[in-house]
Structure 1
């Protein structure tokens, strides 16, 4: 921690050298990062397996593949993204040419979470570097194996004055947040997000907060239940349920609840076996403390499937909960595990009562074949992003901005949106000298009529 001020000072000096604004230099490092990740692919798989017992397929699907996609996108498009954008001029400024310039903010702090420790560390770093910033990355201390390989990759590609990974616990995060940054990007819980926002406010530092919340999944009675069960089980149990955009609970039309429960049970067994603990495809909870936390949430609940908890192995089986009370802990806290509460509705007023019982969620899911119902629901409620008739897949489209609203976060990224997040947009007007209309200059007598006409036709 004693090195933090000196590292920041070195990065500030390097940024002032203007070297990071050289697009070819950025591209060379992004290409080097791509090669380094490719060479370390098996080591990354091994680290994820040690931290989560995560399969290689899931590791590539939800971490490495998305990072590589982000790198390929930046390498292919960076020159176009960084080019000044010509904007239509205003009649008031005739003659002129107007532009938006993208410039890096400067020294950026990225604090990554533990649930997708490779993806959610590397993707913000890639976009911050693409935009020309220097970066200090703080990976999670809970995923020590993945954080270690992430640090090694960054050390092998970047000099410390451009990008560095600093491992450590809460003390390290606290020391980093005590410094003055030009931009902070945080992914994690709402509770810690508020601490980050408070620290940033002391220096008026802009922040992106990628948080979480209780994301609902509404299912009406027009759907193919077997298809819905397949998609719901996949989206809920990916990464052992430790996904910020996972469906936190289901609200199903009351006349199909029992059928839904039966197909969910059958689907879980089909995918993970009668004993998911032995499945090579079912990850573990990150640590004993989080396993105990989820165990506490289950106390007093009506468990209708699963409920097997083994603290020492950080194992919780896929679990279904029937009709929990809205004021229970399991309906007040984000679950972040393989536990799915199932509630019912009869009217849209019932849905309102449930959803407005919590803060604005990060994600929102609706399963229905009724377009009017779908439109009514997605227009009524505020949330970060969502999917109709599937789960999670909005995260995978780099053309869509990804972020929350209210307690689920502020700001967004992904693809070009990520480059823009880490870029200050500078407005520039290049005024021509060949013509200088006199009506803006005093004296103003007799010019009001012309002025009003100009404002009327402003474009």
Structure 2
């Protein structure tokens, strides 16, 4: 029988990790590299076990597990190993006449002991990716995997305990009780991936200790389809980004489509054709699609699907089987804006299409809702691309594809407004777990009497000129010119 995690355990855990951090265990370049290489070994040597756990938890196809979780993690680790020395190096900063002679730099220092609370939909990627940033930045870290993906949580605990330094990296499994006890501790940063509802709870707990947070949430990510597009490729990419990414159970999954009344029938016909090509005439039997994570989420999606004003609007799909936790790809046309499906993030295989009199109306529809984690546009119109990128506020914008920005470590990944705060990936992960410390080195040479009392009008003029970097005025004062 597993030992119950209690308040004393949480307190002891924090004490032990704090001692390790204060002793400098995590600060050296060598320690950081050694831990990153161990994470690389986990990806290289245990991929079959990871794929199996993901199948147990979510019915994920091997391709999605290997490519969208393990391969992306490998890339993150490789980049961190390659760039870590550069990331750790101080950045030179300019000085001014006020501080002359002096030099300045910005030093990235680890925050301390950090908590990562991850999600169930991509349980390996969303657990280890932020841990890569925390380790790269030199922190001690506790990972709390999601209990809704128990096979993945168990495997993460086993592998990280086996490979990583237990004095500085720990995994705590469990559910609400364990998470609550962890949140009562004073962390130096909390990184959470999940729903906005739990995000608010995390933020309230963090506020008690003035702990900074990164919240990777979600929202209703819109897809705008212009008639000036390559419709076949557009539809294939939407399907791959919706049903081909964990069957819609992804934070950046398309949540609804906006297109014109005139163009909608063509979009629907193309989607039906490509969905059948991808998943066959009976998608419920397809092995290339994940299942719903558990019965609670299945029931939540069923409630959305069965709402009368919504079920009447189904134009494709709608089949479901609670025993197998399967729901077929389902498309709706013009559901009511106040229906459940348009009031909350879907996080499943349902996709409503809303029609507009003209595409210009899409901006008002998107603006009327909380800012999403992602917004997508399909068009060949250059002016529309530019306007969309400049005026739509979202965590990220992708033109003519879905979700691919996630794979670019040169781009920050994060939300805005209700879709989250803070960002990570690549160097942004390192920065998320670092404090940018200002350091100024001042010489004893050239000590100026003008900064010390007694004050005079001449000192005032000279100091103002120095602060404003006004060389002409400096010379005037020094030469005694009025």
Structure 1 length-normalised TM? 0.97
Structure 2: how far apart are the matches of 1:385 and 1:440? Answer: 48
Structure 1: how far apart are the matches of 2:340 and 2:226? Answer: 26
Q: Of the candidates 267, 271, 283, which is equivalent to residue 290 of structure 2? A: 283
User: 1:424: Cα distance to partner?
Assistant: 0.6
Structure 1: how far apart are the matches of 2:265 and 2:234? Answer: 14
Partner of 1:144: 150
Partner of 2:421: 410
Partner of 1:250: 257
User: 1:211: Cα distance to partner?
Assistant: 0.3
User: 1:56: Cα distance to partner?
Assistant: 1.4
2:25–2:168 contact (8 Å) kept in structure 1: no
Q: Does 1:204 align with 2:215?
A: no
Partner of 1:21: 27
Q: Does 1:265 align with 2:276?
A: no
Partner of 2:398: 387
Structure 2: how far apart are the matches of 1:352 and 1:126? Answer: 37
Partner of 1:444: 456
For residues 33-68 of structure 1, give each alpha carbon's deviation from its aligned partner in whole angstroms, at most 9, with x where no partner exists.
211331111100111111111111111221111111
Partner of 2:327: 316
User: 1:224: Cα distance to partner?
Assistant: 1.1
Structure 2: how far apart are the matches of 1:168 and 1:12? Answer: 22
Q: Secondary structure at the match of 1:181?
A: coil
Q: Secondary structure at the match of 1:172?
A: helix
Structure 1: how far apart are the matches of 2:165 and 2:391? Answer: 49
Aligned pairs (5 A) from 1:208-357: 208-237=214-243, 238-299=245-306, 300=308, 301=310, 302-347=313-358, 350-357=361-368
User: 1:348: Cα distance to partner?
Assistant: 5.0
1:326–1:357 contact (8 Å) kept in structure 2: no
For residues 54-105 of structure 1, give each alpha carbon's deviation from its aligned partner in whole angstroms, at most 9, with x where no partner exists.
1111112211111111111111111111111111112211111101111111
Aligned residues: 459
User: 1:170: Cα distance to partner?
Assistant: 1.0
Structure 2: how far apart are the matches of 1:226 and 1:272? Answer: 16
Partner of 1:183: 189
1:7–1:161 contact (8 Å) kept in structure 2: no
Structure 2: how far apart are the matches of 1:228 and 1:359? Answer: 25
Q: Secondary structure at the match of 1:324?
A: coil
Partner of 2:68: 62
Partner of 2:410: 399
Q: Does 1:30 align with 2:41?
A: no
Structure 2: how far apart are the matches of 1:438 and 1:79? Answer: 42
User: 1:107: Cα distance to partner?
Assistant: 0.8
Structure 1 unpaired stretches of 5+: none
Partner of 2:93: 87
When residues 93 and 142 of structure 1 are mapped into structure 2, their CA distance, relative to the original with a 3 A threshold, is same
Structure 2: how far apart are the matches of 1:341 and 1:193? Answer: 26
1:332–1:358 contact (8 Å) kept in structure 2: no
Partner of 1:172: 178
Partner of 1:123: 129
For residues 152-177 of structure 1, give each alpha carbon's deviation from its aligned partner in whole angstroms, at most 9, with x where no partner exists.
11101223321111111111111111
Partner of 2:111: 105
User: 1:279: Cα distance to partner?
Assistant: 1.9
User: 1:441: Cα distance to partner?
Assistant: 2.7
Q: Which has the larger radius of gyration?
A: 2
1:303–1:319 contact (8 Å) kept in structure 2: yes
Partner of 1:421: 432
Partner of 1:12: 18
Structure 2 unpaired stretches of 5+: 472-482
Structure 2 length-normalised TM? 0.93
User: 1:349: Cα distance to partner?
Assistant: 5.3
User: 1:320: Cα distance to partner?
Assistant: 0.3
Q: Of the candidates 463, 466, 474, which is equivalent to residue 454 of structure 1? A: 466
Q: Which runs of 4+ in 1 moved over 6 A?
A: none
